[in-house]
Amino acid sequence: MESPRTDQWRTTAAWVRSRVQAHHEWFAQSLPMIASENLISPLSRELLASDFHDRYAEGHPGKRYYQGCRYIDEVELRCEELARTLFRADYADVRPISGTTANLGVLFALTKPGDTISVVNVAHGAHISSADFGAVGVRGLHRVEYPFDLQKMIVDVDGARKVIRDAKPKVAWFGQSVFLFPTPIDQLQDAFEEVGCAVVYDAAHVLGLIAGGQFQDPLRQGAHVVNGSTHKTLPGPQHGLVVAKPRDDKMRRKLDFGMFPGVLSNHHLHSMAALAVSLAEFLEFGEAYAQMVVRNAQVLGSALHSRGVKVLCAEHGFTKSHTLALDVAANGGGADRVEALEQANIIANKNLLPWDDPKKAMHPSGIRLGSQELTRLGMGPAQMEEVAQLIARVIVDHEDPAVVRTDVATLRRDFQSIHYCFTPDVAAYRYHKLVP
């Protein structure tokens, strides 16, 4: 007979499983609109639970520190090849286990403590990697910031050129987490060349839009390195990626060493395999997906604007990415309105706007929305009009979220499978139920 103690932990394990199941059921009735998230395909998801998860494979295919890597090596070589093909890159590293790890590995490769780096300010939408309290600070770098055009929500070209010329950074770093418009790095080429800096573009948010040819093409606009996470507009596993056109062999070797042994030990082989499948699927479906993501974001921006929601950059078409930034200061503030949206089963995040006090990150005036996951579920412009109406009822009209929630569920009922992938029919089952 089992002891009561054993029962206690067995019950706890079952309870954890039931909470995950509850989460699945909740999200199946919701509109997930956090700009950094997405749905992995069923085929990729299956590999996350494979035996690759249980193995070690430090080093490179054919030169491992562990035996047992015969098939892992084959998959990793193919994954690298798929990444080089998709991004038309000379170099690919598919080992980073997240976007921040990719950032850290690149910083470790291209800088030494005390070097200067030029970055976008976090208040202007940069990722926390660019902050003193993030990866840049961990590497002990001296940070200088580009001036930012708050009307156009992009780096100010003349100001950035001056910063680069004056500070002579070792690395000029770009990329944002509130990433509405392409960064004009092509116009900074003269400054990059004059100071001889490495140019790095953190593409986490827009990786799929770049791969799908719908945003900008940093590797052909002056960037040596593009890095980021692989689960936002590129709908792959929670993982990271570096692709590059290294300017010489020395940079190539440094990038390689920076990742391993620089910041990685083992590199999560199950998610590397899932990434390989996601990259293959993106080569097949990515262009159409990325086009629809951007179109949906623009339609959503326009529809929200016409319903009285203050969407940033109305005069510039709201966005050229998957992201919209809303100023809801006059509607109760970001924290208050995302709570109400969540009550209506519309999942979004509060966000600092450039003019907010950075110390008030928990009570900002903004909300960030992304169109990439609803697009993955098969929604198009007609649904964006409906989504805008649902959001405006909460944000502008302060309607009872419980009433809006029933209409959210009705809209969501017809959008249960994952699109732009090889096995759309399996999706609903995988997404709703844990495998028995």
Token pair of 206 as six digits: 């827009």
First to last CA, the chain: 25
Backbone angles phi, psi at 196, to 5 degrees: 70, 30
Kindly state the smallest distance separating residue 368's Cβ from ligand DSN, in Å.
8
Choice between 204 and 340, CB closer to ligand DSN: 204
Using an 8 Å Cβ cutoff, are 334 and 351 in contact?
yes
Kindly state the smallest distance separating residue 181's Cβ from ligand DSN, in Å.
16
How far is C-alpha 385 from the geometric centre of its chain's CA atoms? Answer: 24
Choice between 145 and 202, CB closer to ligand DSN: 202
Using an 8 Å Cβ cutoff, are 129 and 135 in contact?
yes
Choice between 177 and 383, CB closer to ligand DSN: 177
Kindly state the smallest distance separating residue 429's Cβ from ligand DSN, in Å.
28
The CB-nearest residue to ligand DSN is: 36
**Rounded to an integer, what distance in angstroms lies between the CA atom of residue 351 and that of residue 362?**
8
Choice between 103 and 278, CB closer to ligand DSN: 103
Kindly state the smallest distance separating residue 178's Cβ from ligand DSN, in Å.
8
Kindly state the smallest distance separating residue 138's Cβ from ligand DSN, in Å.
15
Kindly state the smallest distance separating residue 36's Cβ from ligand DSN, in Å.
3
Question: Which of 134, 121, 107 shows the shortest CA–CA distance to 225?
Answer: 107
Residue 293 corresponds to which amino acid?
A: V
Kindly state the smallest distance separating residue 15's Cβ from ligand DSN, in Å.
29
Q: Which residues form the interface with ligand DSN (CB under 6 A)?
A: 36, 99, 127, 177, 204
Choice between 292 and 369, CB closer to ligand DSN: 369
Choice between 135 and 244, CB closer to ligand DSN: 135
Which residue bears the tokens 């001036």?
A: 147
Choice between 100 and 302, CB closer to ligand DSN: 100
Q: Which residues contact 434 (CB under 8 A, 6 or more apart)?
A: 17, 20, 21, 24
Kindly state the smallest distance separating residue 205's Cβ from ligand DSN, in Å.
6
Using an 8 Å Cβ cutoff, are 120 and 130 in contact?
yes
Choice between 29 and 238, CB closer to ligand DSN: 238
Choice between 123 and 157, CB closer to ligand DSN: 123
Burial (Cβ within 10 Å: 0-12, 13-18, ≥19) of residue 202: buried
Secondary structure class of 407 (helix, strand, coil): helix
Burial (Cβ within 10 Å: 0-12, 13-18, ≥19) of residue 77: middle
Q: Which residues of 129-165 are buried (b: 16+ CB within 10 A; e: fewer)?
A: bbbeebbbebbebebbbbebbeeebbbbbeebbebbe
Beta strands in 71-213 (DSSP E): 91-93, 116-119, 142-145, 148-149, 154-155, 171-174, 198-202
Kindly state the smallest distance separating residue 179's Cβ from ligand DSN, in Å.
9
